Structure 1
């Protein structure tokens, strides 16, 4: 991985020394530009997007302080190390207030330069690794949040708690710092909230106060879900609509039946298809076909993620004996083919 560095100083000797020190210290370091003043450095930084800038404070045309201000105004947040002499301490302090990560006193010492740049390089590599892991978690966390929202909406407490454990497992298995885990938990809460909002206006999850540990944030998140579950039950008079609950239980038990049609579901209930349609829409926000498909796809995702069954066997167990039809339906619902989904889950 190349670590891109821009050198800025009006003294050619200083730039030559830095170039020699850095290119000899690590093969990953690449000097992407050299500038003699802040104005020239600003143009190079905009073009080259370096990871690190090492800049002098006192320069003609545009000094180091103004350069740092202009970089931040442009939204360029690369690391900056300043070079300063013993008589420039006040300037160095001002630079540090603008987000400079460290400073090097002139005359430079090779050990100090290599140590500071190595420290920033290590931080850069860790941040990059964190970004890679986070990108791999987006799909499974989004999927878990979608399932939690679904189980909440149908007031299925056991299902909700099962999906909560799945989400917690994803976050517990990461190497993230607790601030990053809390950030991912916020993302999941936002997805759940968006899933429910059209049908059930509610208050989004917020941390009671800043500075919580991940454990405290998880407890707050769980309490928020419990509150939503109770509000949904109260709003929809849950428990007094036994007929629709019987139908939902029947669908969940028999979804693997490839010939499960509405007539089979309604036969023991003694209600019309029109009445059932309205009740199901009120309870789940979905039609019969959409709800059955959702149940089947959720189960298919579970089998793809946690079993060694072949993809066509997964389809058969979810009510799709015709494998091409299963693949087409799964991709339309999930956005990935069954094989692609399994591969993504294995890499997460």
Structure 2
């Protein structure tokens, strides 16, 4: 074994200690003597320092006897195994030791063969407990990882959909987001340019490196959660951190990413929000803050200033705009140019009634454009860089009509381009393309990011669309395909079970067996036997 079990010897007779060290083949048994003590008090101190797995202990010792030592140790270390050594006249002590939880006791003078036999039995228990602990730890980490993945996916769905379904809110409603939080969005600068110079593997490597930096730093800063949301963009949520501290955190992140990857990024921080129903709004806040990098520059932390009561008109306009976003999004998704144009006219009328200032109007329209642009990007029509041009055009416009025309003409241009390219916006077509890809690469380490990139939409959009079209999650579908392929191999070949695992995408044969049994209600070996016997 890699780490031998630690043994502590306790006896007030030096000759017995020397004998115990040499008569038992400790190393062959996978054990190592890590300490010796002459009485219970010395032993107790060593237990706290050395954390032994097994203690071989005399009953009668000065200062603190063996039974008292065992009672003290087992208060906080009940898994430690005690083997008690006692004289012929100490039977009552030995019986008490067994009652208190000793593994076994031996009479002096010690029969070394008997002692070795008892130690081997103790070793079996230690192996069993370690195996059980390893299994529990494996399951704990698996559940923790799965829990984190499910939570990230649910949050991504809520962020993608401004009006999430009740079910998702039900499962998360008691979660920590019931308490106030700020959202921090970390976004790579010039991501569109980077995507043109990176190949697929380079892109995966760089994004993986940045996520690791964010995970490690987020844990240090007690970040509630952090996960990739959109291409070149990561979400972080902080609680009990004021805005000034968040600005410092953002600056540190920018420096860390620059130092370790030589890449430039910017950080957008939202206002303070509370509850899952405001998660999408906090994201829009952070996105809008990031839009300031056009004016303020890259590699900076950008914040959004909360509106006060004197800006009520702008707030009312935002409420209307929020509803209009959904309508315009639907027009984009269906590439309905007539409906989009109609709703843009209605928006112009509403903005004229609100009499917003030029600055307020630019902010509102740019915020709307960011959301609509995200949909067009998911459809593979436009790139990130064009948003800077759009903001510049808005700022150069002198009237509300000119501003609306900038937005209208840009999105109509993209919609026409989508129609002319016959972009695959139909969910069924996209997911069919995805499932075909999965079926051709199920035996590799296949991730959501790879498949979503292959069909040209974002991870978050892909998660939602895949579940809508197939009725199951991406992970469930991949598992289903892999187990189906495994069944075919088991039915039609003599390949050993442990060799089947890597053939269908599992590097750990034990984990493969667990997944197979869960799906098929029998192990791979049982399945093969049943097929041979025609059951």
With CA pairs under 8 Å and 6+ residues apart, which has the higher RCO, 1 or 2? Answer: 1
Higher Rg: 2
Instruction: Give the TM-score normalised by the residue count of structure 1.
Output: 0.47
Instruction: Give the TM-score normalised by the residue count of structure 2.
Output: 0.32
